[in-house]
Amino acid sequence: MAEASDDEFSTGDRVTWKSHGSEAGGTVERKITSDTEASGRTVRASEDEPQYEVRSEKSGRTAVHRPEALHEK
């Protein structure tokens, strides 16, 4: 059984993450809970180990991050 975590985000949440030595910001596009293609790569995810697709405010591109890499803005 997975324990409750502070690393839960919802679509539309504004988040920050480390990117190339600085901090980037953006918006959660979706929670990924199964293996899929996203942001141009294969993403390994599950209900117990989800990942989040986020859209960068700066570049407008999407990236996929593990919840522990994201912080609420």
**Average of per-residue pLDDT across 17-44:** 95
pLDDT above 90: residue 4: no
Average pLDDT over residues 26-36: 97
Nearest CA among 43, 26, 27 for reference residue 35: 43
Exposure pattern of 13-43 as b/e (b: 16+ CB <10 Å)? bebbbebeeeebebbbbbbbeeeeebeeeeb
Q: What is the pTM of this model?
A: 0.86
* 3-state SS, residue 68: helix
